[in-house]
Homo-oligomer: A and B are copies of this chain.
Amino acid sequence: MKKIVKVGYVGLGRRGFSVLEKCFSQMPDVEISVICDQYAERIEKASDILVKAGRPRPLATESYDELLACDIDAVIIMTGWHEHIPLAKKAMLAGKYTAVEVGCAFDLSECFSLIDVYEQTGSPLMMLENCCYGRNEMMALNLVKKGLFGEIVHCDGGYHHYLPDCELFKDINCDHPHYRINSYISRNCEQYPTHELGPISKVLSLNRGNRMLTLSSHASKSVGLRQAAKDILGEDSPFAKLNYRQGDIVTTVITCANGETIRLCLDTTLPRPYYSRDFTVRGTKGMYAEERRTVFLEGMAEPVENNETEMYEKYDHPLHAEYSSLGTKGDHDGMDWLVCRAFIESVKNGTNTPIDAYDTVSWMAIAPLSEMSIARGGAPVDVPDFTKGKWLSRDPAPKGKYCLDEVCEDKDTPIFPAE
């Protein structure tokens, strides 16, 4: 087992910087050996943050090839969406453990190519889907894997987050406006499904005994973003005159080999007062619903509702029970820390990742698949079986603290490794 994981870290924009600062730079068993970005000022800022955290100043480069040539165990890719797959393939071909921030492919061909490289190299790949380690998502997973919801029949999830003022138009007049805006201008698809599909995928054991078979997406008209541009940037802004292709609400239904349905929703351009992932799990014996903060098991006179203390006391996943007793760390209620640890532990132990190459690539495929379906008026499209039949007999991912396919009690692996 490795004591120290040496990392090459690429992409130091808002998200990359924040995860470096609040997670990886705080891990004594992680050495950020080399950092890479196309902007020198970002590299400098990141170097400073590492030094400030008492860590060695990393090598710094604008060349990804130079990064890959370093003596590193793993590559962490925190760039914009376009670079995820090309950079991941290069890292895997260089024999590195590879992590990518969330995001989707733009075309199915990229997905096939990525899985080919995985199968050719065997280099483990992991999407850093933090919501798989969300406390409520893991609580539901805990109940599912213990059989308390009975047979699982249906899951809902959504990305309900009004983005114009906090993301899409926030830095629109700066040097580097958010690259996502171009996707809203030119594409119409479920372009951001993994925060909900990731946890649902684990609930339904996708790629390990189950798989997605078909996908249908429908998009509403697109009027919210133009209205938002008018309101936020003014009538004269060029963004207030664009015809955005991205529909305001995209509804996607996925059918699974074992008969379950999954409903996803992209909802980012119409005003709403609260963020939600609308995470919902329905079984023959019980349910979890994020919107009503409800756990219900058959036979209960009343659900546990709007009472987090009682809910976590009864149903918390052991990982979160331990984590909350220690005090959480990092952003997004601590789940960022956990997903980063999950990756690092895999590298240390030389095992496959809990969100593995097949998970990663099948989730990345949702955007192009939904784009096809919408373009065909909502016609169902086939979800490729990237495992090529291996889903029929694949075992749960390696057991351990961060396993998402089973509930593994593991007190030996520290969430906060010592210096």
Contacts and interface: CB of A to CB of B under 8 A. Distances in A.
B303 A274 contact: yes
A61 interface: no
Contact of A248 (B153, B223, B300): B153
Interface stretch (A22-30, A102-110, A118-126, A254-262): A254-262
Nearest to A295: B273
A291 B291 contact: yes
B221 A259 contact: yes
Contact of A270 (B227, B258, B271, B283): B283
A170 interface: no
Interface stretch (A190-198, A212-220, A345-353): A212-220
Interface stretch (A5-13, A62-70, A375-383, A399-407): A375-383
A255 B150 contact: no
A184 B261 CA distance: 18
A249 interface: yes
A302 B273 contact: yes
Contacts of A272: 282, 287, 296
A132 to B, nearest CB: 23
Contacts of A248: 153-154, 282
Contacts of A284: 223-224, 227, 270-271
A214 B305 CA distance: 37
A295 to B, nearest CB: 9
A151 interface: yes
Interface in A249-282: 249, 251, 253, 255, 258-261, 263, 267, 270-274, 282
Determine the interface band of chain A, counting residues with CB < 8 A from chain B. 35 or more
Nearest to A215: B378
Given A271-B298, A303-B274, A380-B378, A223 B151 contact: yes
25 contacts: A150-B227, A153-B220, A153-B221, A154-B249, A154-B270, A216-B216, A216-B218, A220-B259, A220-B260, A223-B259, A224-B284, A227-B284, A231-B298, A249-B282, A251-B253, A253-B253, A253-B378, A255-B377, A267-B282, A270-B282, A270-B283, A271-B285, A271-B286, A273-B294, A273-B303
B227 A261 contact: no
A292 interface: yes
A298 B162 CA distance: 12
A284 B249 CA distance: 11
Which 9 A/B pairs are nearest by Cβ-Cβ distance? A221-B259, A273-B303, A154-B249, A220-B261, A227-B284, A273-B296, A218-B253, A378-B380, A271-B298
A219 B261 contact: yes
Contacts of A380: 377-379
A346 to B, nearest CB: 33
Query: Which of the listed residues A216, A251, A271 has the most CB atoms from chain B within 10 Å of its own CB?
Result: A271
Query: Which of the listed residues A219, A248, A283, A292 has the most CB atoms from chain B within 10 Å of its own CB?
Result: A248
Contacts of A224: 153, 284
A157 to B, nearest CB: 13
A261 B218 contact: yes
A154 to B, nearest CB: 4
A219 B292 CA distance: 24
A378 B273 contact: no
A87 B284 CA distance: 38
A74 B194 CA distance: 55
Contacts of A220: 153-154, 259-261
B294 A255 contact: no
